[in-house]
Structure 1
Amino acid sequence: MSRHDATAAIGAALYGLATRAVRRLPRDMSLTSAATLATLDRTGPRRITDLAAVEGVTQPAMTALVRVMEESGLVERWGDASDRRVTLVCLTEAGAAYVRTRRQAGVDAFEQLIDKLTGDEVEALVAALPALKHLAELESQDREGPTQ
């Protein structure tokens, strides 16, 4: 198999797995809201404009989304000590707890699937862990850019 064919097959398999994983998660909020909370959990406080760019939505849409999440107690807005004109969106403890619960639900779902694999298949996944972690780092860097 050529490198191009291998990367295409791996990409298709990972994309299909990720798509099915997203469908298994609770649908108690939009994917954009959940992704925004996860971004804040990984990167810390961010400007609304930064969040909009990371999540691929307009600034007005992110402003409305942050307002709803703020009313739900999942995020709060803080002034930036280094620049009083800037407002940062920050996770609350309830928001962080939501991210942890949602992440654990995803881990649990994958654990149940992995338990159905053969020993050799599990060993193959273990061998692939460094590459998978590196892929996640690369995707995060591409998508989120530098933190504020």
Structure 2
Amino acid sequence: MLAAAEGVAQPSMTALVHRLEAQGLASLVDHPEDGRVRLVAITDAGREVLAERRRAQCAWVTDLLAALPEQDVRALGEAMHTALPIVRRMVQTAPRPRVPGGGSAS
């Protein structure tokens, strides 16, 4: 399921999950109701890395916006106000892409 949700092939997602696990950023845990299923859980170290990346991205966008003239910032704000509800509806109603060979994910 994870591979299909992310639009990648099963072997690619499995390799990614194993790399995250080897780095201590994720762990595989048993599904509480289905012994055939393994769930991917984020570790505390993974949460820290994720939080730092989000902070860095926010700072980058803040710097980009700070460099714009106020008129451009207002125009972007108005455009986002109009576009965001449309994009949300599109995402909520769009069918998920099928991935060739995509089965259940690790």
- Cα deviation, 1:91-142, whole Å, max 9, x if unaligned, reads 1111122112112211111111111111111112222333454326744775
Task: Tell me if 1:58 matches 2:9.
Answer: yes
For structure 1, the 5+ residue unaligned runs are 1-49
- Higher-Rg member (1/2): 2
Choose which of 14, 29, 43 in structure 2 pairs with 1:92: 43
Change (3 A) 1:71 1:144: farther
Q: Deviations over 1:53-107 (max 9, x none)?
A: 1233221221122111101111011111122221111111111221121122111
Structure 2 gap segments, 5+ residues each: 98-106
| Structure 1 ranges of 4+ moved more than 3 A | 129-134, 136-145
Cα 1:93/1:86, change in 2 over 3 Å: same
Tell me if the contact between 1:77 and 1:88 (Cα under 8 Å) persists in the aligned partners: yes
Partner of 2:29: 78
Query: Which structure carries more helix by proportion?
Result: 1
TM-score by length of 1: 0.54
RCO higher in structure (CA 8 A, sep ≥6): 2
Match of 1:129 in 2: 80
The number of aligned residues is 96
SS state at 1:83 partner: coil
1:80 and 1:65 map into 2 onto residues whose CA distance is: 20
RMSD: 2.6
Give % identity. Answer: 34
Q: TM-score, normalised by structure 2?
A: 0.72
The answer as to 2:19 corresponding to 1:68 is: yes
